[in-house]
């Protein structure tokens, strides 16, 4: 595998599209950076320009202004073959190709390195086999691309970028067709690949849980600007709060999740040891519209002390008592009783 390093510098970039004889800018004045050994998530609401930015970074679309530098060299100065050795790209579009095997798709990733006849060497074959193992497609080598699932096809496309062996890998929604387990497996794979091979991986996503727990840096596209930083830096600065302007949704800076605003039906306090049961009791009560307080709460709830004795004891207004054996029972009973109060 190549150990070539790459530093990406984006300065005052404007991206958009051509409409007739004029150009329409989607996002302007973008200034961000990426370095070798970084896993970077590009986040923003639908239609804000994430795919347009990625396509501009790959050279598929021309910038409307500003500049993109790879190791201080302008993107526009690279030939197609030179660029194919610097970056690889996976689109969010589902690939439908007949009569093409998984192995043959991956072999196309070696094009920038083969001779005029496109002959694969033993080293090329070794790289392809390794990529197949890395993305969990062993045994799929002879499967036709149009006869495997969307998730498997996406894994194959990601494997092709690994085979292309570029210092920069750009992926547009790489986990769009995958279930939760496979999403985390793919991102974990990319995370490991970044660290062990010193690659730079930039991918767009809507999954904040993955982004805040796995990536080194986030490029966050807001309505009026693009900001970058570690996930924790952006959360502390309140940048995620600006993603949505809604009276129904808000960003919880403590949990790192977007949440629906609830109608408050009461207040509560908990008594019991902190830990898994305590924390998930809080989550369940907040879900039905209860707010934690230590001052004059409507509800005082004693949580179970251990998992083998799952009993929640509740006092309502210091008079009415309730005993529940599960959080389902607790939230259902409280929901019914508090509506009547």
* Interatomic CA distance for residues 267 and 294, integer angstroms: 9
DSSP assignment of 119-171, as one string? PPPHHHHHHHHHHHHHTT-TT-TTSBGGGS-HHHHHHHHHHHHHHHT-SEEEE
Is 3 inside any structural domain? no
Q: At 175, is the pLDDT very low, low, confident or very high (cuts 50, 70, 90)?
A: confident
Residues 209 and 279 in one domain: no
Residues 81 and 149 in one domain: yes
* Interatomic CA distance for residues 80 and 62, integer angstroms: 14
Is 61's pLDDT higher than 70? yes
Nearest-10 crossing angle of helices 327-340, 276-287: 40
Residues 296 and 241 in one domain: no
Residues 293 and 191 in one domain: no
Give the pLDDT score at 118: 67
Q: At 305, is the pLDDT very low, low, confident or very high (cuts 50, 70, 90)?
A: confident
Residues 107 and 183 in one domain: yes
Cα radius of gyration (the chain): 25
Tell me how far CA of residue 257 lies from CA of 174, 212, 218, 241, in angstroms.
21, 9, 15, 11
The DSSP code for 76 is G
* Interatomic CA distance for residues 211 and 206, integer angstroms: 9
Question: pTM for the whole thing?
Answer: 0.84
Is 177 inside any structural domain? yes
The boundaries of the domain holding residue 239 are 8-246
Strand partners, 249: 260
Least confident of 70-84, 140-154, 253-267, 297-311: 253-267
Is 94's pLDDT higher than 70? no
Is 312 inside any structural domain? yes
Residues 97 and 184 in one domain: yes
Rounded to an integer, the average pLDDT of 180-203 is: 87
Residues 38 and 187 in one domain: yes
Tell me how far CA of residue 39 lies from CA of 5, 34, 64, 313, in angstroms.
14, 9, 27, 46
Residues in the chain: 341
Is 326's pLDDT higher than 70? yes
Is 251 inside any structural domain? no
The DSSP code for 101 is B
Residues 81 and 155 in one domain: yes
Give the pLDDT score at 95: 64
Is 259 inside any structural domain? no
User: Measuring CA to CA, which residue among 230, 222, 202, 164 is closest to residue 1?
Assistant: 164
- Round the average pLDDT of the chain to a whole number and report it: 88
How many domains is the chain built from?
2
Residues 173 and 278 in one domain: no
Instruction: Reduce the DSSP state of residue 268 to 3 states and report it.
Output: strand
Domain harbouring 329, CATH code: 3.40.50
Is 305 inside any structural domain? yes
Domain harbouring 32, CATH code: 3.40.50.300
Residues 140 and 47 in one domain: yes
Give the strand pairing for 22-34 and 8-19: antiparallel
Residues 154 and 283 in one domain: no
Is 331 inside any structural domain? yes
């Amino acid at each position: 595998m190549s150990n070539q390093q790459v530093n990406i510098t984006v300065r005052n970039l404007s991206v958009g599209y051509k409409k007739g004889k004029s150009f329409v800018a989607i996002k302007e004045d973008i200034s961000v950076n990426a370095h070798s050994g970084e896993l970077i998530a590009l986040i923003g609401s639908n239609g804000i320009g994430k795919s347009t930015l990625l396509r501009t970074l790959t050279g598929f679309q021309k910038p409307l202004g500003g500049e993109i530098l790879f190791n201080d060299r302008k993107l526009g100065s690279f030939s197609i073959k030179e660029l194919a050795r610097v970056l690889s790209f996976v689109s969010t579009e589902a690939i439908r190709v007949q009569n093409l095997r998984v192995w043959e798709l991956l072999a196309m990733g070696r094009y920038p390195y083969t001779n005029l006849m496109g002959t694969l060497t033993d080293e090329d074959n070794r790289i392809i086999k390794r990529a197949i193992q890395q993305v969990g497609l062993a045994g799929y080598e002879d499967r036709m691309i149009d006869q495997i699932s969307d998730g498997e096809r996406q894994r194959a496309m990601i494997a092709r970028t690994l085979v292309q062996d570029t210092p920069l890998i750009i992926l547009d929604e790489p986990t769009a067709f995958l279930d939760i387990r496979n999403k985390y497996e793919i991102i974990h794979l990319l995370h490991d690949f970044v660290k062990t091979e010193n690659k730079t991986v930039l991918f767009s996503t809507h999954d904040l849980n993955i982004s805040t727990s796995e990536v080194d840096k986030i490029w966050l596209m807001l309505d009026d600007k693009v900001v970058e930083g570690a996930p924790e830096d952006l959360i502390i600065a309140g940048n995620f709060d600006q993603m949505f302007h809604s009276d129904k949704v808000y960003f919880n800076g403590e949990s790192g999740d977007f949440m629906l605003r609830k109608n408050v039906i009461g207040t509560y306090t908990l008594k019991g040891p902190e830990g898994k049961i305590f924390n998930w009791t809080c989550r369940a009560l907040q879900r039905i519209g209860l707010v934690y307080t230590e001052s004059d709460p409507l509800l005082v709830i004693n949580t179970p002390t251990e998992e083998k004795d799952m009993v929640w004891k509740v006092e309502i207004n210091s008079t009415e008592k309730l005993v529940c054996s599960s959080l389902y029972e607790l939230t259902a009973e409280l929901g019914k009783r508090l509506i009547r109060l």
